[in-house]
Chain A
Amino acid sequence: MTAEVLIELIDVQKTYGNGENEVHALRGASLQVRAGELIAIMGASGSGKSTLLTIAGGLEVPTSGDVRINDHSLPTLRQKELARLRRQTIGYVFQDFNLIPSLTVVENVALPLELDGMNARNARRAATDSLESMGISDLAKRFPDEISGGQRQRVAIARSFVGPRRVLLADEPTGALDSKTSESVIRAMRKRIDGGLAGILVTHDAKLAAWADRILVIRDGQIVDELKTELRPEQFGAN
């Protein structure tokens, strides 16, 4: 039995600017990601990786083509519905963390739930769980500028899959981290995805990409190759 498709891009095109400045960031990219599946996207700088991810995350609108997240066609959604989808369904991890400096770690993680109307105590409990699963529950009461870069990114990931999320999108989440930290971050991501999420990981690092079920290679805005990775159980450890 195949799992349901949670992320689907159908012939997505994206151009920036016009006239002489026109840039074709995506030239007809299509992909599907099912529940429990993590795909990695690799490619040279400027090839359109981030553009693809932001379109999948509803942060950017495609010039043409369709994007379906959890059976919603994003281009047809109104601003409000898109916002709801972002706070209920999609978890997004930025390369540069994007934590809110005035909120503590646990408050940052609880924010999407609170924005969705959950009461503060429940949201905090869920956030603590999420932090625990990232192994950083002891940082809960600190402010973002009081912890290290690796810790910040783990907070950002904890935030991205707090609550009943279905889709996890990460744009070079380990770009600022050393390899040991990177591995623990990706391990945590993989674990969540195995629990039934669909995930896209943009990365330069082949070692990290190996954690994915499939690797898509993108060049000049087109997906040019797809590599299947073999599951190597020891990589998932006893977790």
Chain B
Amino acid sequence: MSRFNESVIAIKIAQRSVKRNKLQSFLIIAIIAVPVFLVSALLTLDASTKSTVSEQLKYELGDAVAKYEVQYSPNKNLAQNPDLLQLQEIIPDGTATRGELVDIHQVLPKTNLVAVTKTDAIFKTASGIGPISVFLGESWNPAFLNKGPVTLIEGSVPEGSNEVLVTPSALKRFGVQLGETISTESGLEFKVVGTMRDYSTSTSADIVFAMDKSIPNVSGSSSFYYQLSGDSPSWKEVVKLNQQGIAVLSRSVLLNPPVTEEQLLEENSGGASLFAIFSVLLFLVPLGLLPVVVLAGSAFAFGARRQTRTLAVMASLGASRNTLQNVTVTSGIWLGLLGGLSGVVLGVLLVAFFGPSLVTRSFAVQPTWNQYPGFHIPWMFLIILVIASGVLGAVSSYLPARKASRVNILATLRGQRSEGQVRARTGVGALVLLLAGLAVVIFSSMLFTYALNMPKEAVSAYERADGLKRLAVYGQLAGGIITVIGFMVGRGWILRGIRAVISRFGKQFNFAGRDLLFNRSRYAPVLSSVLVVYFVGAMILSVSHGPMQKQAIENAKQQTMLPGQYNYMFPLNNDGAEPTPEKYLASIPSLQTAEYRKNMITQTGAFTNAAVITATPDFYYGAASRDSAGNFLESFNFTMPHVIFNPETVCYSQAISSHHEAFMKEHADVKDWENYINYPPGCANIIEMNRTIVVADVKTLQTISNRVDPNAEQTLTAGGVVVFSRVFDFNGTAKIRWTKESEYSMENNFDSSNASKAVDLKSYVVPGMVSESLRYMAIISPETAAKLDIQAYPVAVLANTEAPISTEVTDELMGKGIWFERFTADDPNALAWLVTWVAGIFVLLATSIALGLSQIEAATDKRTLAAIGAPKSFRSRMVATQAFALTFTGAALGGGVGIAVGLTLVTSASISDLVLPWPQVVTLLLGVPMLAAFIFWVFTPKNLKYEVRQALD
């Protein structure tokens, strides 16, 4: 018979069986739709966060033809990418400076430019005072207003320099109405004439839009110049302007980008991030595919079994095996396509309605245009996704189809089951896989440790170590997957185990257990689905709840305030000039000591505790570069011992540097690095941030580390040093090095070789860093400091809160003269709950669907039970028991392996310790199975009509 005819019949039967078994088909479609929904939502969100040229033009330029910013002093080496207002050096050598900047009006004398300057000013707010962004210049120019960059929400535009627009959230922070007046701390008053949304910021940004020069300009602000008329500069002109230190966004260049060979610059850290993305993809693709394939596979197994009787009838009518197989595969494709399509539609709808909220993770805050330029549908990807779902349908129904096409016609028509015994062979296979998986995980962890500690004298050794580490990470992942597959292979034995356990609880449990084992092929897919989904979910949860997030929230709970003697935080005079320290101190004499401020802080009651941080002056760090008398102090360096002893850590910190390779090649001999102690290339950031040594007693140590740690305190009092990161510790020792300022100067080319003094101290690493511990990376006791003749000065007041504090609180405190560095962070707990929610819903959906399918199959048995008088309570308890037992076992095994792999991944890859989010883990492990049991208990029908088992499926 013709292939075509065959397919027509196959499609017809497949279509019909989808239509006629609505609930079952719906569940199968849903099981495919759920993962497709997640993937297509992600793809659509990704597409919607990338701007098109027209969106970039709209939001960056409005009706303007070009936008300019002076970023560096003139330099032949400077260039930009056509679509990015950011200058970079073609050959990065760090010679670009912000010394003498050109005057753009002289460079472009004939061009009429509108300037908008972004700066800060201290305003009186509803609860006190606070720093608020100010955009000076005609932000509401008709070329921008309602043309893309800004939208007037209410009121009218300013007509004089005493009128301003504000963002709605700023209006709230000021606590005023339209038409009322706001004022700066220094007494300047402005009438708020309207509210405006600026799309370059999120709606949570507090901004005041004022006329040029209406508020004294503060240094450190940035100015943008908009060209409203005439021709926009050509790419040639842009290249010339770049060398003047001016970055340009030109309408004509954006519309007609130059050919690629002229785009010389890498995107910001493009090379590194591309690799990162690639390796993340390598991780996620198999991880994400595993549940999809298993879920879809089990769905099609149900689908194929549902069809066996139809297939047997067809076989008895003389249908060939090919035809039978085609029918199954066709219905697989059909369901796959439907599932894919509905998943894609739902995913796209989710982003269409909640895209902006997903980006900001808040319903209240709208993102910037850059974060979410517009709702874009990635048609290509989505069509591929739908087709892939069809292919997945075909592939995952192929095996069941082969099996179904070889049906024993008579046996099937008689309604015989062909369920085998639990085969011993699968038990052995499962055991082998489990042991192999375990061995691979252990071996990979050992490999990682080896790669971390292997001696690295030459550059090639680093490359080899990097390769080994990557291999080890993949190994850990693969080990986990092998273990999970082992469980899946041994699912018959697991069901046996479940039966053995639950049959102890009474008659209906016994029956539930027997049913589980007897109809193994009905329930095994449920178990596999739960196993895999929990494996992936638990691993993501344990990895995502990593130390980094923990640290971020700890940081946000520590707020620092600088003591009075630092001039750079002084508020400006009304004329914009900096007041002298003397003038400031004279005006607020009581604020001059750190101790006084600490007392103020503790009196507010907003903090749990506070301490004055006394530290060695930091040579580079502006805050500590002068004492209260304005003199430079002797400079102290705390050397990171790894620079000398532990090349691995250098490699670690250099991962952030794009010059890593070049540096490594140049300095293949590790000994050579000692010459770079004060400024090792690639380690620059860390070295600059971590130069001071804190001199503190035990109580202050407790405040800084925000915990009580007897070991740390003992180290401190015994004359040792407490460090907050393993990078400062080498075999229990840390090196303190300091430099005589008089000998470490410009005249001596900052050569530290003669100026340095150094001493090794016994060290103790406090695990789990907090923000200030990174800055004051080491703590010694006052006694040790005295013995070593190290002087320390009050540099800050540090206070701990229970939770990150709001602007209301900081404004209030600033109003009382307490100035903060305000940290904010995403609550890692909230993130973990988010992951838990998503994983929980996914797991619940997946298990409910799989269980629902199995229960539909079991309906005839349930009817028979009802017919012979089993009460509803018996049936509902039986179903609930099965739901709980299957979900919980799958959750415990899959989740256990997932957490174990997540743990080994995090602990071997990270220098910090892992904290498991226990409440979330327990919710997933116990809550979801209980909910599943409850759902099936509730939805057990009261009256089941007995139906004679007819020759209809």
**Hey, which bits of chain A sit against chain B, CB under 8 A?**
54, 57, 59-60, 79-80, 83-88, 90, 92, 94, 96-103, 107, 111-112, 114-120, 143-145, 159
Contacts and interface: CB of A to CB of B under 8 A. Distances in A.
15 contacts: A59-B316, A59-B409, A80-B320, A86-B317, A94-B316, A94-B951, A96-B951, A100-B313, A101-B310, A111-B9, A112-B317, A115-B314, A118-B5, A120-B8, A159-B317
A118 B320 CA distance: 15
B857 to A, nearest CB: 16
Contacts of B710: none
Closest 3 CB pairs of A and B: A87-B318, A86-B318, A102-B16
A119 B5 contact: yes
Contacts of B951: 94, 96-99
B2 interface: yes
Max chain B C-beta neighbours (<10 A), residue from A57, A102, A120: A102
Given A60-B410, A79-B321, A85-B318, A99 B952 contact: yes
Interface in B907-953: 950-953
A115 B1 contact: yes
A114 B5 contact: yes
Nearest to B950: A96
Contacts of A99: 313, 951-952
A103 B1 contact: no
Nearest to A57: B316
A87 B318 CA distance: 4
Interface string B301-320: 00000000010111111111
Contact of B17 (A54, A102, A144, A159): A102
Nearest to A92: B316
Nearest to A50: B410
B213 interface: no
Given A54-B410, A120-B8, A145-B950, 6 more contacts: A83-B320, A90-B318, A111-B317, A114-B9, A115-B318, A116-B318
Nearest to B9: A114
A149 B16 CA distance: 22
B583 interface: no
Contacts of A102: 13, 16-17, 19-21, 310
A39 B541 CA distance: 73
A116 B1 contact: yes
Contacts of B320: 79-80, 83-84
A74 to B, nearest CB: 13
B314 to A, nearest CB: 7
Contact of B310 (A57, A100, A107): A100
A138 B12 CA distance: 22
B323 interface: yes
A30 to B, nearest CB: 22
A164 B381 CA distance: 51
B874 to A, nearest CB: 29
Interface of B: 1-2, 5, 8-9, 12-13, 16-17, 19-21, 310, 312-321, 323, 409-410, 413, 950-953
Contacts of B17: 102
A117 B952 contact: no
B410 A117 contact: no
A90 B310 CA distance: 19
Nearest to A144: B952
B951 to A, nearest CB: 4
Contacts, number: 89
Nearest to A91: B317
A94 B413 contact: yes
Contacts of A159: 317
A144 B952 CA distance: 8
A100 B13 CA distance: 9
Given A54-B410, A102-B13, A115 B323 contact: yes
A144 to B, nearest CB: 6
Nearest to A86: B318
A4 to B, nearest CB: 22
Given A98-B313, A98-B413, A103-B16, A84 B318 contact: yes
Nearest to A111: B317
A83 B410 contact: no
Most buried by A among B1, B320, B321, B951: B951
A100 B317 CA distance: 11
A143 B409 CA distance: 23
A103 B9 CA distance: 11
Given A100-B310, A102-B16, A87 B2 contact: no
Contacts of B310: 100-102
Contacts of A144: 952
A87 B314 CA distance: 9
A29 to B, nearest CB: 18
A79 B591 CA distance: 99
Contacts of B316: 57, 59, 86, 92, 94, 98
A117 B2 contact: yes
Nearest to A149: B950
Nearest to A104: B16
A94 B319 CA distance: 17
A87 B317 contact: yes
A59 B410 contact: yes
Contacts of A59: 316, 409-410
Contacts of B9: 111, 114-115
A81 B106 CA distance: 93
Contacts of A98: 312-313, 316, 413, 951
A106 to B, nearest CB: 12
Contacts of A92: 316-317
Nearest to B320: A83
Contacts of B16: 102-103
Nearest to A160: B317
A143 B608 CA distance: 76
**Residue among A83, A88, A111, A117 having the largest count of chain B Cβ atoms under 10 Å:** A83
A85 B319 CA distance: 10
A96 B316 CA distance: 13
A79 B9 CA distance: 21
A44 B317 CA distance: 28
Given A60-B410, A94-B413, A94-B951, A103 B318 contact: no
Nearest to B15: A102
Nearest to A79: B321
Q: Most chain-B Cβ atoms within 10 A of its Cβ — which of A85, A99, A101?
A: A101
Nearest to B322: A80
Interface centre among B1, B20, B310, B318 (most CB of A within 10 A): B318
